[in-house]
Homo-oligomer: A and B are copies of this chain.
């Protein structure tokens, strides 16, 4: 599946990303054991940040989850902030890479592709998504800028789709930028309430939201039933 490829890709990139943060006291782990520990740190921090919020999570808690003393974390990440940065950067990189790799077979409408991709990815990676929205304000300014740029890149994908669709007469989003935000907000809200095993399957959700989105940007308003 697309996203698992992305996951592999991401982890393959990670050392490069970490290496690019010049001046940090902590080199990225190079030995197998260190790489494993670093990955466990990422996973523990992700879970904790998603559950309690960055500010409410202590390095001691993360260390305890990982099964290591607090000081050992600093062999892998120079600061707590860097763990957050790493998680958010990886997430955005994964997300964009997964989009590139997502070529749902038999689908031709790009809007449908985007909606399905977004829902699936966001349900699958709920924690990453969650902290990427919630912890933006806990990023230091420079990190914030980087993440914001990635986010805009992602949103531009949908804006392009809407604009192209409008030129082609397929959709009628009056203001593609606003519509982009509206659709993304709508879709991104799903993981906040969706629970597996509930009344609706993931596919049900996809269909329902796809229908809402399609109609919202449909080129024409049906005959006599405008409201008000």
A residues neighboring B (CB under 8 Å) = 51-53, 55-56, 107-109, 111-112, 134, 137-138, 170-171, 174-175, 178-179, 181-186, 188-190, 192-193, 200, 205, 208-209, 211-223, 225-228
Contacts and interface: CB of A to CB of B under 8 A. Distances in A.
A218 B183 CA distance: 17
Contacts of A53: 53, 55, 137-138
18 contacts: A52-B137, A53-B55, A55-B56, A111-B227, A112-B228, A134-B134, A170-B227, A179-B212, A181-B189, A182-B209, A185-B185, A185-B188, A188-B189, A215-B215, A215-B221, A218-B218, A218-B225, A220-B222
A109 B228 CA distance: 5
Contacts of A178: 200, 205, 208-209
A109 B186 contact: no
A181 B193 contact: yes
A212 B182 contact: yes
B209 A137 contact: no
A203 to B, nearest CB: 13
A225 B170 CA distance: 7
A191 B61 CA distance: 34
Contacts of A225: 170, 218-220
Contact of A221 (B205, B222, B227): B222
Contacts of A170: 225, 227
A179 B226 CA distance: 19
Nearest to A52: B137
A12 to B, nearest CB: 26
A227 B208 contact: no
Given A109-B227, A200-B178, A228-B108, A218 B222 contact: yes
A214 B226 contact: yes
Given A55-B55, A181-B189, A214-B227, 13 more contacts: A108-B228, A109-B227, A112-B228, A174-B208, A178-B209, A181-B190, A182-B209, A184-B189, A215-B221, A218-B221, A218-B222, A219-B222, A220-B225
